[in-house]
Chain A
Amino acid sequence: MKITEFYIYAMYLVVIITSMLFIVKDYYIIGSLLILGNLVPGYAMANSLMGNNEN
């Protein structure tokens, strides 16, 4: 389960770095799409992750 947790954190990192790179390169639509599309599942995943850590 530790590996899965690490993988989830890596996914957050991938989303943040990729969308930032697109925004820095002035590709605002693609950068915003990457953030917006991952916002809801990313938030739900964070809640699940926190619930798991509390247990």
Chain B
Amino acid sequence: MFDEKIYRRFNHTVAACFVIYFLFPQKIMGLERIYLVILLWIIILGIEYLRLNKNLNLFGMRDYESDRVAGFVWFASGTFIILGFYEMGAFPQSLAVATIIMAAYTDPVIGEVNHKLGDRWGLGIGFVCSFAIYQLIVGVIFYSVLGGLIAVLVERPKLKWFDDDLAMQILPISILSILWLSGIGPDLPETIIESGL
């Protein structure tokens, strides 16, 4: 039997690879690339439907997830919402890339640090982690500090119908994008990845 906790952490960090979407050509087999995301979302929702109805047994699920939507569905939903809004022009690409990678790494980092050093350290190191990712990708201190703060603050409340895997993506990118679009926040590099493999 594998270690379930390690398996969950690895699943979480691998989710950062969703950013490969930005390398895809705009059209795949004549269809807009966003349809690929919708298809994947339907598959994930189908798997979750089977799991919740006890027709499918997935390894690595937490006990409390037996009768509620699992973390992987929340995370995928958050990422797919980001990609959808990016295609509509609501979110700049740089923030979308940074937020997806940040959420994939920061949540397990906070979980591990909380477990080993305590909650305060979890908040602090979680902030450093998310700040560093925003700074490396977006490169604007204003967005890095704010994005890092929002990410660690929304990770804390544990709500049944609004998981932190979703909140850690949607809230930081929404607030940062509103600040950027309204002109309150400083300018940022809008596109950092050119599409086309």
- A residues at B contact (CB < 8 Å): 1, 4, 8, 11, 14-15, 18-19, 21-22, 25, 27, 29-30, 33-34, 37-38, 41-42, 44-45, 48-49, 52
In the assembled complex, the CB of B3 is this many whole angstroms from the nearest CB of chain A, namely: 4
> A48 and B136 in contact (CB under 8 A), knowing A11-B14, A18-B20, A22-B23?
no
**17 more A-B contacts (CB under 8 A) besides A4-B59, A42-B10, A48-B7?**
A1-B59, A11-B11, A18-B19, A21-B23, A22-B23, A29-B136, A30-B19, A30-B193, A33-B137, A34-B19, A34-B101, A37-B16, A41-B12, A44-B9, A48-B6, A49-B2, A52-B2
Q: Which of A14, A41, A48 contacts B17 (CB 8 A)?
A: A14
In the assembled complex, the CB of A9 is this many whole angstroms from the nearest CB of chain B, namely: 12
Chain A, residue nearest B59 (CB): A4
Asked if residues B2 and A33 are in contact (CB atoms below 8 Å), the reply is: no
What residues of A have a CB within 8 angstroms of the CB of B6 in the complex?
Answer: 41, 44-45, 48
> A33 and B14 in contact (CB under 8 A), knowing A21-B20, A45-B6, A48-B7?
no
Asked if residues A41 and B9 are in contact (CB atoms below 8 Å), the reply is: yes
What residues of B have a CB within 8 angstroms of the CB of A44 in the complex?
Answer: 3, 6, 9-10
Chain B, residue nearest A42 (CB): B10
Interface of B is mostly: helix
The contact size tier of chain B is 20 to 34
Q: Does B117 contact A (CB under 8 A)?
A: no
Asked if residues A8 and B101 are in contact (CB atoms below 8 Å), the reply is: no
User: In the complex, A48→B53 CA distance in Å?
Assistant: 30
* 4 A-B pairs with the lowest CB-CB distances in the bound complex, closest first: A41-B10, A18-B17, A48-B3, A45-B10
Q: Which of B1, B13, B136, B194 contacts A38 (CB 8 A)?
A: B13
Q: Does B75 contact A (CB under 8 A)?
A: no
Q: Does B184 contact A (CB under 8 A)?
A: no
Q: Does B84 contact A (CB under 8 A)?
A: no
Asked if residues A33 and B10 are in contact (CB atoms below 8 Å), the reply is: no
Q: Does B133 contact A (CB under 8 A)?
A: yes
What residues of A have a CB within 8 angstroms of the CB of B197 in the complex?
Answer: 21
In the assembled complex, the CB of B13 is this many whole angstroms from the nearest CB of chain A, namely: 5
Q: Does B104 contact A (CB under 8 A)?
A: yes
- Among residues 180 to 197 in chain B, which have CB atoms less than 8 Å away from a CB atom of chain A? 192-194, 197
